[in-house]
C-alpha cells in the first residue's frame, strides 16, 4: 500500500526538482539531482532513485526542463538537465499554490504560530 | 570477464565497463520492461548506466565490496518500477514524432502546390514565388518547425530534404505538368 508520505512526495517531486535546479544555477545530471534532493530533505523523502528519471523525462517533454549530453563519445557521457523559462514560471505558480495550501492546512489543523 | 559474460552493446555506451560488468545485468532487467524504439532505449540505458555506476562507486567508497555495492545500488534504484515508469513515460513519443514528420512535408507540399502551380498544372512562373512573403513563411516553417519540434535530427533532415527537393524539382522543371 502506498503511504500518505509517498503520495505527497509524488505530488511534489516536480516542484522539488524545479526548485533545486533554479537554486543551484547550473545544469545537473540525474544522479546529482537525486543526491542533492536527498541532502535537502535530510533523507525524509527518500524514494526509489530510478523513479526520478521518468519524471525528468516527462518534465522535459512538457518543456519545463531542457537537457544536453555532455562528454565526448567514447568517454562517460552525462545527460545534464536545466530549467527552462517555462519551468521557472511553473515553479513560481507551484510555490504560490504550495504556500496557500500550507497556510490553509496550518489553519485547519490549528498549527498557526506553532 | 568471461566470454559467456560478453556485454550487449545495445545496453548503452560505457568506457568503464570493464570495472562494472554487473551493472549490465541490472540494465538488462530494466530493458526487459521496455518496448521502445532502439534509439530511445539506447539513450535511456546510457543515462541509467551513469547513475548506477555512480551509485556503485559511492557505495564502494563507503567500504562495501562490489557485490554488496551493486545490490545496494539496484535496491535503491527500484529496477522493476523504473522500467515500467519509463515505458509509460516514453510510449507514443516516437509515434507522435513520426506522424508530425510524415505530415509536415505533406502540408508544406500542399502549400507549395497552392503557391507554385498555374491552373494548367505547370510550375511556370515559379520564380515569382521567391518574392512572395507566403513562400518565405512556408520555407521558414519547414526549416524551423522540425528543428524545434523533433529531438532527433533525422526527422528534421527528412522534412528539410523533402521540402527542398520539391523546390529544386519545380525550379528545374517548371514546364512539366505535375
φ, ψ of residue B71 in degrees (nearest 5): -60, -40
Give the residue-averaged pLDDT of B155-170.
73
Tell me whether residues B51 and A57 touch, CB distance under 8 A.
Answer: no
- Interface size A-B, in CB pairs within 8 Å, comes to 67
Q: Supply the pLDDT for residue B21.
A: 59
How much is the CA Rg of chain A, to the nearest whole Å? 16
* Predicted confidence band of residue B120 (pLDDT cuts 50, 70, 90): confident
Indicate the DSSP class of residue A51: G
- pLDDT single digits (tens) A58-108: 999 999 999 999 987 777 889 999 999 999 999 999 999 989 988 898 889
Per-residue confidence at B123, pLDDT binned at 50, 70, 90?
confident
Vertex A24, ends A80 and B27: CA angle to 5°? 35
B66 is written with which cell numbers?
562490489
| Residue B82 touches chain A, beta carbons under 8 Å | yes
Instruction: Give the strand pairing for A78-83 and A65-70.
Output: antiparallel
- pLDDT of res. A20: 95
Instruction: Tell me what pLDDT residue B155 has.
Output: 64
The per-residue pLDDT for range A18-69, each reduced to its tens digit, is 999 999 989 999 999 999 998 887 777 777 888 899 999 999 999 999 999 9
Cβ-based contacts of A79 with chain B (< 8 Å): 43, 46-47, 50
- What the block records as the C-alpha cell of A85 is 523559462
Nearest residue in B to A56, CA atom: B89
What is the average per-residue pLDDT within B160-174? 75
What pLDDT is attached to residue A88? 96
**Rounded to a whole number, what is the distance in Å from the CA of B46 to chain A's nearest CA?**
8
Give the model's pLDDT for residue B16: 45
Q: Please count the CA atoms within 13 angstroms of the CA of B137 that sit on its side-chain side.
A: 5
> Considering only residues 67 to 86 of chain A, which have any Cβ-Cβ distance to chain B shorter than 8 Å?
73-79
Query: Per-residue confidence at A6, pLDDT binned at 50, 70, 90?
Result: low
Which residue has better confidence, B154 or B123?
B123
Cβ–Cβ contact B81 with A under 8 A: yes
Residue in B53, B82, B88 closest to A50 by CB? B82
Contacts of A29 in chain B (CB under 8 A): 50
In this predicted structure, what is the pLDDT of residue B149? 65
Q: Cα separation of A25 and A91, whole Å?
A: 14
| Chain A residues within an 8 Å CB radius of B86 | 53-54, 57
- The pLDDT of residue A10 is 67
pLDDT higher than threshold 90 for residue B145:
no
Whole-number pLDDT of residue B156? 66
When CB atoms are compared, the residue of B15, B55, B90 closest to A76 is B15
CA B171 – CA B65 distance, rounded (Å): 69
- Contact residues for B26 (Cβ-Cβ < 8 A; gap 6+): B52, B70, B73, B74, B77, B79
Residue among A41, A32, A39, A35 at smallest CA distance from A12:
A41
Contact: B14, A61; criterion CB under 8 Å: no
State the average pLDDT over residues B43-55: 91
Provide the CA B62 distance to its chain's centre, in angstroms.
Answer: 38
Confidence of residue B67 (pLDDT cuts 50, 70, 90): confident
Asked whether the beta carbons of residue A50 and residue B81 sit closer than 8 angstroms, the reply is yes
Q: Do B50 and A57 touch (CB under 8 A)?
A: no
Max CA pair span of chain A: 59
Q: pLDDT for B2-12, tens place per residue?
A: 333 334 444 55
Residue B3 DSSP SS3: helix
Percentage of chain B surpassing pLDDT 70?
A: 76
Amino acid at each position: 500500500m502506498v503511504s500518505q508520505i509517498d503520495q505527497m512526495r509524488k505530488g511534489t517531486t516536480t516542484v522539488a526538482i524545479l526548485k533545486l535546479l533554479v537554486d543551484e544555477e547550473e545544469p545537473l545530471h540525474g544522479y546529482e539531482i537525486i543526491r542533492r534532493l536527498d541532502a535537502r530533505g535530510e533523507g525524509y523523502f527518500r524514494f526509489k532513485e530510478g523513479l526520478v528519471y521518468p519524471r525528468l523525462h516527462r518534465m522535459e517533454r512538457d518543456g519545463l526542463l531542457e537537457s544536453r549530453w555532455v562528454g565526448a563519445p567514447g568517454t562517460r557521457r552525462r545527460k545534464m538537465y536545466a530549467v527552462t523559462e517555462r519551468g521557472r514560471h511553473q515553479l513560481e505558480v507551484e510555490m504560490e499554490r504550495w504556500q496557500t495550501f500550507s497556510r490553509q492546512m496550518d489553519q485547519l489543523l490549528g498549527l498557526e504560530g506553532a | 570477464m568471461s566470454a559467456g559474460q560478453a556485454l550487449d552493446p545495445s545496453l548503452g555506451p560505457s568506457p568503464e565497463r570493464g570495472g562494472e560488468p554487473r551493472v549490465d545485468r541490472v540494465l538488462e532487467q530494466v530493458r526487459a520492461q521496455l518496448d521502445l524504439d532502439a534509439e530511445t532505449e539506447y539513450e535511456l540505458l546510457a543515462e541509467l548506466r551513469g547513475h548506477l555506476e555512480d551509485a556503485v562507486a559511492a557505495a564502494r567508497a563507503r567500504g562495501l565490496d562490489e557485490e554488496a555495492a551493486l545490490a545496494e545500488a539496484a535496491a535503491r534504484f527500484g529496477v522493476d518500477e523504473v522500467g515500467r515508469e519509463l515505458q509509460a513515460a516514453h510510449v507514443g513519443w516516437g509515434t507522435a514524432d513520426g506522424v508530425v514528420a510524415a505530415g509536415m512535408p505533406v502540408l508544406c507540399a500542399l502549400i507549395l502546390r497552392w503557391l507554385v502551380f498555374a491552373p494548367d498544372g505547370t510550375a511556370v512562373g515559379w520564380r515569382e514565388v521567391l518574392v512572395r512573403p507566403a513562400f518565405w513563411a512556408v520555407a521558414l516553417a519547414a526549416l524551423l518547425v522540425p528543428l524545434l519540434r523533433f529531438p532527433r535530427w533525422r526527422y528534421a533532415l527528412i522534412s528539410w530534404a523533402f521540402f527542398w527537393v520539391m523546390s529544386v524539382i519545380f525550379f528545374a522543371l517548371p514546364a512539366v505538368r505535375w
